[in-house]
Amino acid sequence: MLLSFKPARLAALFVAPILALSACGSGTNADGTTTCNGLPDQPTLSFAAYSTPREAYGKIISAFKSKWKDEHNDQEVIFQESYDGSTLQASRVVSGYEADVVALSLGPDVDQIADAGLITHDWTKEADGGMVTTSVVVFDVRPGNPLGIKDWNDLAKPGVEVLTPDPASSGGARWNLVSAWGSALRGYGGVTRGDEAGATTLMQGVLGNVLAYDSSARKSIQNFEDGNGDVAITYENEVITAQAAGKEDEAVYPPSSVLIENPVTVVDKNVDKHCVREVAEAFVEYLHGDEAKQIFADAGYRSTDLATAQKGGGDFPAIEDLWDVDEFGGWDALTTKLFSDTGIVTQAQAG
């Protein structure tokens, strides 16, 4: 098949600008690795986070940029931010989205990226175990709590419409359901302590009442705010953010909750490719610092120290029973139990 010159030439003409616009600077070696000559003049940091902390990170990123500018001769760092369901973001990073820093909802999503070979250091060995914020699971109810919701068994009552995100795409969803399971096993929500069958029935009851599984925690709470459903299971910080935005969301705290811990780490392969490791690591370090902690606290996040988180203080109510995933064998055991193909949640969603 002979190709006349004109189409081929024009094809090349339009491919070239596309490639140019998509390529990033720095020298690429023949084997694909990059040799970095220090930071680029205007370093660009690609930041992928889960759906809910965008307001908090908006402020933190501004603060970090000013600090960096002061300390590095007026150098401007550009942030390219993306916010969506935690698992969605992890899948995207694995599929080629070259994020330099990831701030996800739970450890397993970071592990997914590490398993793909993109994170080569042990992120759990960083400050605070790699976590930057914590939160608890709450029920977002209509003003005045018309249905008198107090605990998980109230969500399983017939006729109650529940909103929760989809565990396949949202980290928040998995926190919600782990909290339900764990609370039940610890003797709350009308279930006897240690009664797995009872806990299973409770889960099935709650899941049977789910009106819609939105793809991210933020989408779920907005669905609720649009007037759908009677109660939305969500992060405490999401309700606080909504209230700060003038919405009518009202939080009801179940007595027992899992300690939601949100990790942040640098994606080694990408920072080395983009030659921005210095900025990326500085940013992650900043997130563990006092300034960032204050901004997070103001935005509705709790301390990374469990005891402090449980006590609360100020606008944060004390939690009667606060526990972390290790109480039930960590994420591996919980994922098998709840979210695998034979898991309780998966079965309930299919049925």
Q: Enumerate binding residues for another protein (CB under 8 A).
A: 1-4, 7-8, 10, 14, 17-19, 21-23, 28, 32, 46, 51, 54-55, 78-84, 87-88, 91-92, 94-98, 166, 168-169, 211-215, 218-219, 222-223, 226-228, 245, 349-351
Minimum Å distance from CB 325 to another protein? 23
Burial class (CB in 10 A: 0-12, 13-18, 19+), 145: middle
Output DSSP code: residue 316. B
Shortest distance, position 227 Cβ to another protein, whole Å: 5
C-alpha closest to that of 81 among 105, 108, 53: 53
| CB of 37 or CB of 95, closer to another protein | 95
Least separation in angstroms between residue 94's CB and another protein is 6
Minimum CB separation of residue 92 from another protein in Å reads 5
Beta strands in 55-209 (DSSP E): 78-83, 101-103, 131-135, 137-141, 162-165
> Of 53 and 263, which has the nearer Cβ to another protein?
53
CB of 293 closer than 8 Å to CB of 57: no
- Smallest distance, Å, CB 122 to another protein? 24
Which DSSP string do the residues of 207-232 spell out, in sequence order?
HHTEEEEESSHHHHHHHHHTT--SEE
The pair phi, psi for residue 234, each rounded to 5°, is: -155, 180
Q: Which is nearer to another protein, 236 or 249 (CB)?
A: 249
SS3 73: coil
What is the secondary structure of 35-46 as a DSSP string? Answer: E--S--SS-EEE
Of 1 and 197, the one with the shorter C-beta distance to another protein is 1
Closer to another protein by CB, 245 or 333: give it.
Answer: 245
Residue 164 near residue 230, CB atoms below 8 Å: no
Q: How far is the CB of 219 from another protein (least distance, A)?
A: 7
Nearer to another protein, 309 or 348 (CB): 348
